Amino acid sequence: MTAQGQPVTAAARPAGLAGQEIPYDLLLKGGHVLDPGQGLNARLDIAVAGGKIAKIAADIPAAQAARVLELRGPGRHVVPGLIDVHTHVASGAIAKGVGVGMCEADAIGVHSGVTTVADCGSVGIANIGVVPAYILPRAKTRIVTLINAGSYGHAMPGPADINSPDDISRRAITVGAEHNPGLIGGVKLRLVGPVFQTAGEAVISTAKAVAKDLGVPLMVHIGDATATDAASAARREELTRFLLEAFEPGDILTHLCTPRPGGVLDRSGSPYPEVAEARANGVTLDSAIGLGNFGIEVARRQADLGLYPDTISSDLTIGSQTFHSLLECMAKFMAVGYSLPDVIKATTANAARALGLADEIGAIAVGRDADLSIIDVVDGDFTFTDTNGQGFTGRYGLVPVRTIKAGEEFAPGWGTHPWGWLPESAPEE
Ligand SMILES: [Zn+2]
């Protein structure tokens, strides 16, 4: 097993070049460049100037850059800046003790190998004002904000964001969007709580109408732990099918592998016919793991069926930040059987497309922002736990080494676990 996250070697610029022009600010030298969205998989140098990718070539002389990172090493890869399409980073938007605790964007972003995060419904129209005022200005990580259909976001005490269809203020959201151009990247709805027993269709239709008003995707959380009796569980199944029919191209289903009532597989383990129809119609299937929505049996069954997630995301909150990371979520999917290129594509090209940003992020290309993640793929015997507490094993761990965001370089934090970034090691036999 290779050591995790060994420091990169930063070479000093060769002496004797005084007066000569240095065209590049930063040179990533000798790295294994992997960008499955573009079919790029080769040892290449990448030069950065003015925050943009300036050149990609087999050999760019070190003397042409002010700073050089030597990236040869076992398992070391340079990939497009990773994108986590489901997180909660509205730290400070919600009073402590009320609702869901939020992460600091940079802790789970640039200091965790991730250059872009989507905040998914942490705030609603009543508290979204904190995002442009306090959260975006202090984050180096790019944040895409999906507004909760419910007015207070995740601030409501108890499990539900919405308790009546009237909790969606369609007019306020429209006015808020008009006055904050570019702020709202999507609408988020959670199919959680008793309202879905009685008025589920009306709530889904209203949230869809709001997203349509704004011209943004609707992301919907499936899987409801509050649906504990058989009748409620059957109702969640019905609503998931209704939802898949209501979705339009670009909309996002999140928690694909949920073991909770309302998942996409019927009781015999077959997907509802609406799933294939939705996918054919351009709906994104996101697998946000979080603390409750990743069943290993569900994930394995879906892999066997070819029902793979388009995007892999973490659903990180303060409660899960010390439990896993986006990289560890990717390692979990590698343990299910997905390849490294599969999980990279799901967190780069596919994730960029899901957020409507495929022309800007998610690819390593000349002229684009230099958003790059340098990661180590570490071989080992690792153990993971699904959100039902069931253990499983995997052969790979992923460790962030450096993050480059628009040309700026960030070192990783300590990691999610007391021992650092790697998943837990399996006990020796
Ligand atoms: Zn979430």
Ligand 1 center–CA 414 separation, angstroms = 24
Calculate the alpha carbon distances from 62 to 28, 242, 364, 389 in Å: 9, 57, 20, 49
Q: Provide the pLDDT for residue 205.
A: 97
**What per-residue confidence (pLDDT) applies to 418?**
94
- Does the structure show a pLDDT above 70 at 25? yes
Ligand 1 center to 412 CA (angstroms): 23
- Overall average pLDDT of the 217-226 stretch: 96
Query: What is the per-residue pLDDT for 13?
Result: 61
Does residue 2 surpass a pLDDT of 60?
A: no
Phi, psi of 335 (to 5 degrees): -65, -30
Cα(162) to ligand 1 centroid in Å equals: 15
pLDDT of residue 240: 97
Order of strands, edge to edge, in the sheet holding 252-254? 82-87, 114-120, 142-148, 184-190, 218-221, 252-254, 284-286
Structure tokens at 144: 């895409």
Q: What percent of the chain has pLDDT over 90?
A: 89
Please give the distance, rounded to the nearest whole angstrom, from the Cα atom of residue 314 to the centre of ligand 1: 8
Which has more confidence, 158 or 409? 409
Q: For residue 152, how far is its CA from the centre of ligand 1 (angstroms)? A: 14
CB atoms within 5 A of ion ligand 1 belong to 120, 315
Strands 391-405 and 218-221: unpaired
b/e sequence 369-407, b meaning 16+ C-beta within 10 Å: bbbbbbbbbbeeebebbbbeeeebebebbbbbbbbbbbb
Output the pLDDT for position 18.
57
**Residue from 7, 19, 8, 6 nearest 63 by CA:** 19
Q: Which residue has the tokens 């997180």?
A: 87
Ligand 1 center from residue 26 Cα (angstroms): 36
Residue 16 pLDDT more than 80?
no
Q: Report the alpha-carbon distance of residue 75 to residue 144 in Å, rounded.
A: 31
115/280 Cα distance (integer angstroms): 29
Alpha-carbon distance values, 171 to 176, 203, 226, 317 (Å): 9, 15, 29, 29
Decide if pLDDT at 241 tops 60.
yes
Q: Each residue of 109-124: pLDDT tens digit?
A: 999 999 999 999 999 9
What gap in Å lies between CA 390 and CA 416, rounded to an integer?
20
Q: How far apart, in Å, are the Cα atoms of 122 and each of 33, 125, 165, 414? A: 34, 10, 19, 26
Q: Which residues contact 85 (CB under 8 A, 6 or more apart)?
A: 118, 120, 252, 286, 288, 311, 313, 351, 354, 355
CA gap 239, 47 in Å, rounded: 50
Burial of 182 (0-12, 13-18, 19+ CB in 10 A): exposed
For residue 120, how far is its CA from the centre of ligand 1 (angstroms)? 6
What pLDDT shows up at residue 1?
Answer: 39
pLDDT at 15: 53
Where do we find the tokens 């998914």? 120
The token duo for 362 is 């998610």
Residue pair 307/271 in contact (Cβ under 8 Å)? The answer is yes
Distances (CA, A) of 239 to 202, 206, 232, 246: 11, 14, 10, 10
Q: Tell me how far the alpha carbon of residue 312 lies from the centroid of ligand 1, in angstroms.
A: 13
> Exposed, middle or buried by CB within 10 Å (0-12, 13-18, 19+), for 225?
middle
What is the CA(258)–ligand 1 centre distance, in A?
12
CA-based angle 289:141:249, to the nearest 5? 55
CA of 136 to the centre of ligand 1 (A): 19
Residue-wise pLDDT for 285-295, tens only, equals: 999 999 899 99
What's residue 9's pLDDT?
76
Q: 84 near 114, Cβ under 8 Å?
A: yes
Average pLDDT score over the chain: 94
Distance 377 CA to ligand 1 centre (A): 27
> Measured in angstroms, how far is the CA atom of residue 339 from the centroid of ligand 1?
25
- Ramachandran assignment for 266, one of left (phi > 0), alpha (psi -120 to 50 degrees), beta (any other): beta
| DSSP letters spanning 356-375 | T-TTTSSS--TTSB--EEEE
Kindly report the number of other CB atoms within 10 A of residue 171's CB atom.
11
Q: Note the pLDDT tens digit of each residue in 307-363.
A: 999 999 999 999 888 888 999 999 999 999 999 999 999 999 999 999 999 999 999
For residue range 51-77, list pLDDT tens digits in order: 999 999 999 999 999 999 999 999 999
Average the pLDDT over 229-239 and give the result.
94
pTM of the model: 0.96
Residue 150 has a pLDDT of: 96
pLDDT number for residue 12 = 60
Q: How confident is the model over 92-104, as a mean pLDDT? A: 90
Asked whether the beta carbons of 220 and 184 are under 8 A apart, the reply is no
Over residues 282-304, mean pLDDT = 96
Ligand 1 mean position, distance from CA 351 (Å): 16
Residue 338 structure tokens: 């997905």
d(CA 217, CA 283): 10
